[in-house]
Amino acid sequence: MAETNRRVLLQRRPEGMPVPEDFTIVDDPLPEPGDGQVLLRGIYLSLDPYMRGRISGVRSYASPVGIGEVIEGRVVGRVAHSRHPDWREGDYAFGGQGWQTHSAVDGAGLTRLDPAAAPISTALGILGMPGLTAYVGLKTIGRPKARETVVISAASGAVGAVAGQLAGRLGARVVGIAGGADKCGYVAGELGFAACVDHRGRDLDAELDAACPEGIDVYFENVGGAVQAAVYPRLNDFGRMIMCGMISEYNDPTPRPGPSLVAAVRKRLHIQGFIVGDHAALRPEYLAMAAPLVQAGQLKYREDIVDGIDNAPAAFIRLLEGRNFGKLIVKLGDDPTR
């Protein structure tokens, strides 16, 4: 049977939490690369929270995915056919497009990956967009100092795990917030945070008080909702709140009533949002720092790898329910490097 391009398309816009029927899977002929393009056979597809916004139809900092279009996503893969002088069949690259097994992409837009330097999947996680997000948030907004208390939500996740480890390396006392005993055990044990509070536990307020006896100087916000409501009153004067994401609110049909921001004035808080795409210039600096640490095992990461593109919609729903554990990646095809 001829090889096909298996693709996940947006069938309809989700209302609230996405369901499998919002997606449809089709087989199309392989795309033909044009002049200057390559055909990339996908090995790993990154699933990320921002995709919930892209399928909602609401125009924000990026345009939405149209009905019947392939869902947006970043892919690591192997060049199957090249019509670009710099790329040869068998080369590994980051820059494939969408929830699909193959894509024809401009050779100039691909980044070469060296499987000997780091597992190629890390280009989607710790050495990719989520890792850079952690770095940008800390460097440009949080700026933690030694002995300050830094709280990180979604602490076992792709962004949170890196943010906490980097803040710890700066001498801060880092407290994670994560869902469930397994994730908290990983954050406080393997990742070396000073403590980790379970937001699904019985009394988030009391546990935060116990874990942060001197209040909170920097909050790396990944979650929003009830977690944000518990952290916010515990911010110290001149605290910094890094507004990275609020995943617990992405499926709300209407916006929730917000916290009172009066304290932002009284406590002279710095609450600032950012989009990692505006900080691409920091990527070389981040990689120069992080890649050797990853190679030496001093910056740890965890991947949650799901097999097969057909499982992408269910895996994405798992992410929005907080049931992924580590950077969520879909394995599209064989990885000859592992």
By the criterion CB under 6 A, which residues form the site for ligand NAP?
A: 48-50, 130, 133, 154, 156-160, 178-179, 183, 199, 222-223, 225, 227, 244-248, 274-276, 319, 322, 324, 327
| Dihedrals phi, psi of 278, to nearest 5 degrees | -80, -5
Amino acid (one-letter) located at 249: E
CB of 278 to ligand NAP, least distance (A): 8
Nearer CB in complex with ligand NAP: 22/304: 304
How far apart CA 274 and CA 272 sit, in angstroms, is 7
β-bridge partners, 70: 9
CB of 86 to ligand NAP, least distance (A): 29
The Cα-based distances of 259 to 35, 171, 330 in angstroms read 53, 30, 36
Nearer CB in complex with ligand NAP: 40/242: 242
Nearer CB in complex with ligand NAP: 206/280: 280
CB of 75 to ligand NAP, least distance (A): 16
Nearer CB in complex with ligand NAP: 23/301: 301
How far apart CA 338 and CA 114 sit, in angstroms, is 13
CB of 265 to ligand NAP, least distance (A): 24
306, 73 contact by CB (below 8 A)? no
Nearer CB in complex with ligand NAP: 267/279: 279
β-bridge partners, 176: 152, 196
Q: What is the token pair recorded at 118?
A: 């780091």
The Cα-based distances of 315 to 132, 158, 209, 224, 249 in angstroms read 23, 15, 34, 22, 18
CB of 25 to ligand NAP, least distance (A): 23
CB of 293 to ligand NAP, least distance (A): 18
Nearer CB in complex with ligand NAP: 173/302: 302
CB of 50 to ligand NAP, least distance (A): 5
Which residue in the shown chain puts its C-beta closest to ligand NAP?
157
Q: What is the token pair recorded at 64?
A: 């939405």
Nearer CB in complex with ligand NAP: 26/314: 314
